[in-house]
């Protein structure tokens, strides 16, 4: 019975070695009823899985030859990036748990690592000197007290660079557009890495010029992958939403945002609508503060 569960190497008609599926899953000898109910879903699933293991995989294409693909994500009023108020305030009067506390309980190890990284950044930027005459116990007690804000809300000073880190940490673990964008943009990183591994001569060609090498990798990544967010309300975003959208474009310059721009209607006429496209490389209009459309 064990042999009927094993895969065996056999010669294929074209002379190559291949795997033969175990007869336990493929032979119709009437013994299946000993293990599965007649017409059972378990038999269908296991048989399909076993057969798929012997399916010949196609030869992978190099990055140069792979087809270009675009990911389109619709967005209407979903949260782009959580605000600090949404993270640290209580949802309503009936709960005493903030969103940040809830996420900390779900991801304790990740929060602990985040706090350690934040403390290192804070220590590097601190210029405060401590009294050398303090005893070890006093220093230890003061350190524990000083570290409390880090473990509670992720920062000790309300500087934008620290509060933004906490907002990003929470947004990456909630249902936000930032989480979707950051995950999808990993395609770009993967393409650049794969292209570099497949073409080691590129590294030699640029002879240590990391800037030119990075530009070449980015060029290939832009050729093969596009990520577009269809922001239906972008033209009517409030100040906070515009700031969050701008943060996305600065964090991911290759991200594209498509939206409808509306031209005011002339007297007695109808407004004109234009399909527009911007990305992180688009110029900023000094008058409006918005990105100038590329199309």
Residues 81-125 pLDDT 10s: 999 899 888 666 777 788 888 899 999 999 999 888 888 888 877
In the chain, the percentage of residues whose pLDDT exceeds 70 is: 83
Strand partners for 20: 8
Q: What is the pLDDT of residue 253?
A: 95
SS3 of 20, please? strand
Q: What is the pLDDT of residue 146?
A: 67
Torsion of CA 103, 172, 194, 52, to 10 degrees: 60
Which residue is it, tokens 């600065």?
A: 250
User: Is 60 exceeded by the pLDDT of residue 188?
Assistant: yes
User: Is 50 exceeded by the pLDDT of residue 129?
Assistant: no
User: Is 80 exceeded by the pLDDT of residue 148?
Assistant: no
* 3-state SS, one letter per residue, for 198-225: HCHHHHHHHCCCHHHHHHHHHHHHHHHE
Q: What is the value of pTM for the model shown?
A: 0.74
Q: What is the pLDDT of residue 213?
A: 93
SS3 of 21, please? coil
- pLDDT tens readout for residues 28-74: 555 555 656 666 777 778 778 877 776 777 888 999 999 999 999 99
Q: What is the pLDDT of residue 209?
A: 87
C-alpha–C-alpha distance, residues 257 and 89, integer Å? 31
Q: What is the pLDDT of residue 42?
A: 75
More confident: 205 or 267 = 205
CA distances from residue 95 to 98, 102, 175, 189, 263 in whole angstroms, order as listed: 8, 11, 20, 41, 46
Q: What is the mean pLDDT of residues 142-147?
A: 63
Q: How many beta carbons lie within 10 A of that of residue 133, not counting itself?
A: 6
């Amino acid at each position: 019975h064990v042999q009927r569960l094993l895969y065996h190497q056999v010669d294929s008609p074209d002379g190559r070695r291949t795997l033969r599926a175990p007869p336990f899953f493929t032979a119709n000898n009437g013994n299946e009823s000993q293990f599965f109910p007649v017409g059972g879903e378990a038999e269908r699933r296991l048989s399909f899985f076993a057969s798929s293991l012997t399916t010949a995989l196609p030869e992978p294409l190099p990055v140069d030859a792979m087809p270009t693909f675009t990911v389109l994500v619709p967005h209407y009023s979903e949260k782009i990036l959580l605000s600090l108020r949404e993270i640290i305030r209580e949802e309503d009067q009936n709960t005493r748990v903030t969103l940040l506390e809830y996420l900390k309980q779900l991801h304790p190890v990740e929060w602990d690592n985040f706090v350690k990284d934040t403390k290192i950044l804070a220590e590097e930027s601190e210029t405060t000197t401590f009294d050398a005459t303090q005893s070890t116990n006093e220093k230890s007690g003061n350190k524990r007290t000083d570290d409390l804000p880090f473990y509670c809300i992720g920062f000790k000073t309300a500087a934008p660079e620290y509060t933004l880190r906490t907002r990003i940490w929470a947004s990456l673990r909630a249902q936000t557009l930032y989480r979707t964008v950051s995950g999808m943009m990993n395609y770009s990183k993967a393409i650049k890495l794969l292209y570099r591994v497949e073409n080691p001569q590129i590294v030699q060609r640029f002879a240590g010029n990391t800037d030119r090498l990075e530009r070449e990798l980015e060029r290939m990544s832009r050729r093969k992958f596009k990520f577009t967010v269809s922001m239906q309300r972008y033209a009517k975003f409030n100040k906070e939403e515009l700031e969050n959208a701008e943060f996305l474009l600065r964090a991911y310059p290759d991200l594209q945002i498509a939206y409808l721009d509306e031209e005011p209607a002339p007297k007695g006429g109808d407004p004109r609508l234009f399909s527009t496209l911007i990305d992180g490389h688009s110029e900023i209009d000094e008058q409006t503060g918005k990105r100038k459309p590329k199309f």
